[in-house]
Structure 1
Amino acid sequence: MYSIFERSGWWRLVAVHGRIVLPLWLLTGCASYHAQPLRDHLPAMAKVEQAMAAALRHNHPASAHPVNLHAPLSGKDLGEIAVLLNPDLRAMRAQIGVAKAQVFAAGLLPDPQLALSADLPSNVAAGYYNAYSMGLSWSLASLFTRSADLHVARARAHSVQYQVAWQEWLVANQARILARQLYYLQEQEAVSQQAAATTDQLYRTSVQNLRLGDATITTTALRQIAWLDSQDRQLALRRQVTKVRQNLNKVIGLPPGMHLALRAPEMLKNFPDAAQLVPLADSHRLDLLALRAGYQAQEARVRRAILGQYPGFTIGFSRAADTSNIQTIGPSIHLDIPLWNRNRGVIAESEATRAQLHAAYTARLFQTRAEITALVADLHRLHQEITPLEQQVPQLQSAELRLRSAAAEHNVTLIDYEAVRSQALAKSLQLLALKQAYAEQQVALEMAVGLPWQQRGEWR
């Protein structure tokens, strides 16, 4: 007595066509599942320092001596380290792998479809046979749109690569800006600390002289006020230094409490006008290149949507036997009739998205040109403010030292000395603040132009 499987005729179907189906299954490589659990622990300090050393060796490949992470580092070094260690950038770079996988998927051909069925008559004694049918079909619709799908995926992959590179550029220059800000804040803190030590010494001397009757209450009170002001200024700058250092460590991807020694920033005095920098930005800024690639991807989507309005074909081949044991073999074709839909909704959405991207690119281009013009104007203004202070501040500092000695010998009044000392201190801090702003705006201009460091010679 045969089993249901044997009676149905499926065994004949498998026996006849198994020589074709089974090798196909064997030739198609099947992917296997591998778990990838999340890790919630942070890298050890040793690994962080190894990554920093690797970034510095990448910057200075000709250097034969080992990298000293405790030596003063330049903004360029910190920028490279930030690109390597920043957690957000490492997560964003995974998008490149996704985009490449989408390109791979867009180029794959569709798999054929195999359909098997059987009809089992309830009364086999009446001379009926078990009927079966087998059909093998393949959709040709994707063949007509494969080129457009590949164009979309490749353009999107280029857009993602440019977007990731632009974010790396922003993070690197943000680290450079914070490094310059931290350097000049530390310089201001050092000046304020020296001023606080001076006012503390003068105040203690005045208190001692007041006890001996050699000073007045007015003199002691003025020195006490000057000492309190200097303490407040020093503590305020210390808070700023701590905050900026933590922000810098966060951008780079370092532990919050890590201290890095910084090298003095390079200050450029000459730079072209905005009219010369704007064309460079149009051709070098990675975000503009990303928008162009995204627009090209959308152009391909519009073309893909247009192709989708044409009918899709599916061809096939079938073999069947009915309950009378009549064997049939024949081809088949399925055709989608574009009667009502005609892919009009997808076409309208694609064209509207293309118009939106066009407007976004125009707006970004306008914003870039306005930003470069404003930065160049700010740099010119800051340069005009810095130049006279660089000439006058050393003279004020020298006069303050001479008046300090004269005040100690009671040759000048305390009010006169305090007026000169406070103004000399204010102008010194103002000069450092202006240099800080100039250094930050200089990096901001390089960021807006979008030129890598090795290509800055083009506009220096």
Structure 2
Amino acid sequence: MTTLLASLAGCTWYHADPLQTVNTSTSQDSIERIRVDPASMPLPELSAHIFDPTDGLDISEVAMLAVANNPDLKLARDDLGIARAQAFSAGLLPDPQLAIASDYPGQENTTRAFSYGLSMDVLSIITRSANKQSADATVTKTDLGLLWQEWQVIAQARQLFAKARLAENTLPLLQRQLNLSRLRYERMAAARRDGNLTSDTLTAALTSYSDARKQYTDAERSAEQTHHDLNALLGLSQTVHLQLVGDPDTATLANSTLEDALKNLPQRRPDLLALRAGYDAQEQKYRAAILSQFPTLTVGFNRGRDTSNIYTTGFQINLSLPIFNRNRGNVAIEQSTRQRMKDEYQTRLNQAFADVEHLRADSVILTRQLAQVEAALPEAEHAAQQASEAFAEHNLTLGAYADAQAAAITKQVDLATLRESLTEQRIGLQALLGGVIPDPFSNDHS
């Protein structure tokens, strides 16, 4: 009885945890109350950065907030907790089995018979080591998968920051271009009504105005989509409007750094290390399946008394006969699964190299385009300045003035767009190459 009470005292008791029925996304009022511990950041450059939302968020603070508050990362951390619980379960020894029986004879001069026995599943002890190692490797796989997901969220946050800053810089330019196009069209429409302008000239002005209006509307919609995506990534309510400050880092990785990163890619990328850990876990599952080919063995001891008051002590062995099944099906399944995981790792590794080479080649094209636009911009701005001076002195028509201004604005927007695209590309390249893997992972998978 004492043993039973002690067992009950060590049990876990049920506690209800009801679901929420309200929106729990971070609101505008609670932004400044958010605290992010730099030490918990998965990249060195973030762990050395101070998170202070009171003066706006720079690109690093946006990335830090994403790591701390991203809804998908919260689910991934829950998955890690499940994997750790499963590893804990795999390491537990099986409970012994207690059997008690009693017979009550219906005849005089006889004694109540009883028997009790204690048994243990031996095979579960034999396979415990392999199952525990498999579960531990799964924990490492899940932890590395979480690290890789954090890196991807950081890259997405940085790219969305760059998009948002692009919208802030280009929308005023596009608004100015729209205003000029509208003014020219309205002036020409008035001239057409007075009979001083042909219809085809007005049509050209209307087309230009419509194009400028569409370009501005498309940019507005893109900015709204960026706002939505960024808030969703950061776990913020859609009513929150962040004050973004600073510009993205546009530093280019040196070729030597790229080559070193590519050479050490299998040791740098958490997703590749996670696949290796998953392969190690599958190796142990395959080993456990092979061990389970041996007969199931249960050993026990018993003590009893029959109705004639004779006591007996003995043992029992339950042994399965491996004649038909012999666990061959599970062995084949685990072996095939191991082969699939091996192929998955190689496919992911090959794809990683291909993605990096693609971004490097595309970066060369973008850099060349950027240089061409940068070279052409001063001339367009100079022409716009001369047009402004001539227009102010009434030596230039409104149409020619608007065209010169539109040409300069187009070059400025193109330049900002190319710079943003190149920044996004470099952020993506850094994410593909990987960064510094924490020591525990490196030591386990070197």
Per the shorter chain, which TM-score range?
Answer: 0.7 to 0.9
| Corresponding position of 1:36 | 17
CA distance in 1, matches of 2:383, 2:344: 57
CA distance in 2, matches of 1:417, 1:396: 12
Aligned ranges for residues 60-459 of structure 1 at < 5 Å? 67-69=52-54, 71=56, 73-123=57-107, 125=108, 127-202=109-184, 216=197, 225-262=207-244, 263-272=246-255, 275-412=259-396, 416-451=400-435
Residue 36 of structure 2 contacts residue 64 of structure 2 at CA under 8 Å; is this kept in 1? no
Amino acid at match of 1:229: D
Evaluate the alpha carbon distance shift between residue 68 and residue 79 of structure 1 in structure 2; reply closer, same or farther with a 3 A threshold: closer
CA distance in 2, matches of 1:55, 1:230: 46
CA shift for structure 1 position 220: 6.6
CA shift for structure 1 position 144: 1.0
CA distance in 2, matches of 1:131, 1:328: 11
SS of the equivalent of 1:315 reads strand
Q: Percent identity?
A: 32
CA distance in 2, matches of 1:191, 1:411: 25
TM value normalised by structure 2: 0.87
Amino acid at match of 1:162: L
Amino acid at match of 1:23: T
Any gaps of 5 or more consecutive residues in structure 1? Answer: 1-20, 455-460
2:2 pairs, out of 11, 19, 22, with 22
Q: Which has the larger radius of gyration?
A: 1
What is the RMSD computed on CA atoms of the aligned residues? 2.9
Residue 133 of structure 1 contacts residue 318 of structure 1 at CA under 8 Å; is this kept in 2? yes
Evaluate the alpha carbon distance shift between residue 87 and residue 234 of structure 1 in structure 2; reply closer, same or farther with a 3 A threshold: same
CA shift for structure 1 position 294: 0.3
CA shift for structure 1 position 416: 4.6
Residue 49 of structure 2 contacts residue 60 of structure 2 at CA under 8 Å; is this kept in 1? no
Evaluate the alpha carbon distance shift between residue 438 and residue 276 of structure 1 in structure 2; reply closer, same or farther with a 3 A threshold: same
CA shift for structure 1 position 195: 1.9
CA shift for structure 1 position 209: 7.6
Evaluate the alpha carbon distance shift between residue 235 and residue 70 of structure 1 in structure 2; reply closer, same or farther with a 3 A threshold: farther
CA shift for structure 1 position 391: 2.6
SS of the equivalent of 2:111 reads coil
175-184 or 417-426, which deviates more: 417-426
Any gaps of 5 or more consecutive residues in structure 2? Answer: 41-45, 439-446
CA shift for structure 1 position 165: 1.7
* Cα deviation code 1:17-39 (max 9, x no counterpart): xxxx6336525612211111112
Amino acid at match of 2:146: V
165-174 or 54-63, which deviates more: 54-63
Evaluate the alpha carbon distance shift between residue 438 and residue 452 of structure 1 in structure 2; reply closer, same or farther with a 3 A threshold: farther
SS of the equivalent of 1:328 reads strand
Residue 67 of structure 2 contacts residue 154 of structure 2 at CA under 8 Å; is this kept in 1? yes
CA distance in 2, matches of 1:186, 1:346: 59
CA shift for structure 1 position 440: 1.0
Evaluate the alpha carbon distance shift between residue 184 and residue 271 of structure 1 in structure 2; reply closer, same or farther with a 3 A threshold: farther
SS of the equivalent of 1:323 reads coil
CA shift for structure 1 position 176: 1.2
* Cα deviation code 1:313-337 (max 9, x no counterpart): 3222111111111111122222233
Evaluate the alpha carbon distance shift between residue 112 and residue 51 of structure 1 in structure 2; reply closer, same or farther with a 3 A threshold: farther
Evaluate the alpha carbon distance shift between residue 352 and residue 212 of structure 1 in structure 2; reply closer, same or farther with a 3 A threshold: closer
Residue correspondences, number: 428
Evaluate the alpha carbon distance shift between residue 203 and residue 27 of structure 1 in structure 2; reply closer, same or farther with a 3 A threshold: closer
TM value normalised by structure 1: 0.84
CA distance in 2, matches of 1:70, 1:224: 44
| Corresponding position of 1:457 | none
Amino acid at match of 1:250: A
CA shift for structure 1 position 95: 1.1
Residue 28 of structure 2 contacts residue 239 of structure 2 at CA under 8 Å; is this kept in 1? no
| Corresponding position of 2:43 | none
SS of the equivalent of 1:96 reads helix
